């Protein structure tokens, strides 16, 4: 028996109103793999995995509430999820070409990290990120 309480973040929940449209968007636009769709206590949930093993799963949770996955950081909307990209310029250009609402590609420091914000089909604010530490 070990004394470790937690090993890693297991999954992240994102609220959606139309789970079927959102499933198509995450599969077709972001290229994520749908592992399962099920009903839990009257709510539809879709489980997406990234291609690499042992990564955090992304769960879409259908709700009738009009919520977005973001909070305010110094008065400006800020995402609750950052998704790592091995080639952020490729990701940026691909999402733009698919009509996704993307913000400016930002470089931090001397190029040690880059990121941009984008929105999913439901308006959830997400971050695409790359850094030399990943």
pLDDT the model gives residue 5: 81
pLDDT the model gives residue 66: 81
Please state, rounded to an integer, the average pLDDT across all residues of the chain. 91
Identify whether 44 is part of a domain.
Answer: yes
Query: At 89, is the pLDDT very low, low, confident or very high (cuts 50, 70, 90)?
Result: very high
pLDDT in tens, 36-52: 999 999 999 999 988 77
Identify whether 106 is part of a domain.
Answer: yes
Q: Per-residue pLDDT averaged across 105-132, rounded?
A: 95
pLDDT reading at 54 higher than 80: no
Q: Which residues lie closer than 8 Å to 17 by C-beta, 6 or more apart?
A: 62, 63, 64, 66, 122
Identify whether 5 is part of a domain.
Answer: no
- Domain range holding 58? 11-131
Identify whether 110 is part of a domain.
Answer: yes
pLDDT the model gives residue 25: 97
Q: What pTM value is reported for the model?
A: 0.88
pLDDT in tens, 13-23: 999 999 999 99
Q: What domain count does the chain have?
A: 1
**CATH code for position 40:** 3.10.180.10
pLDDT the model gives residue 53: 63
Identify whether 1 is part of a domain.
Answer: no
pLDDT the model gives residue 99: 96
């Amino acid at each position: 028996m070990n004394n470790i309480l937690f090993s890693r973040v297991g999954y992240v929940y994102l609220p959606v109103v139309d789970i079927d449209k959102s499933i198509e968007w995450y599969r077709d636009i972001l290229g994520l793999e749908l592992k399962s769709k099920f009903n839990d206590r009257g709510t539809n949930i879709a489980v997406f995995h990234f291609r690499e093993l042992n990564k955090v799963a992304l769960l879409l949770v259908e709700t009738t509430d009009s919520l977005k996955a973001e909070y305010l950081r110094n008065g400006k909307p800020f995402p609750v999820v950052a998704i790592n990209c091995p080639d952020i310029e490729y990701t940026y250009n691909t999402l733009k070409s698919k009509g996704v609402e993307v913000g400016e590609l930002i470089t931090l420091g001397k190029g040690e990290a880059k990121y941009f914000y984008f929105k999913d089909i439901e308006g959830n604010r997400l971050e695409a990120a790359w850094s030399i530490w990943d």
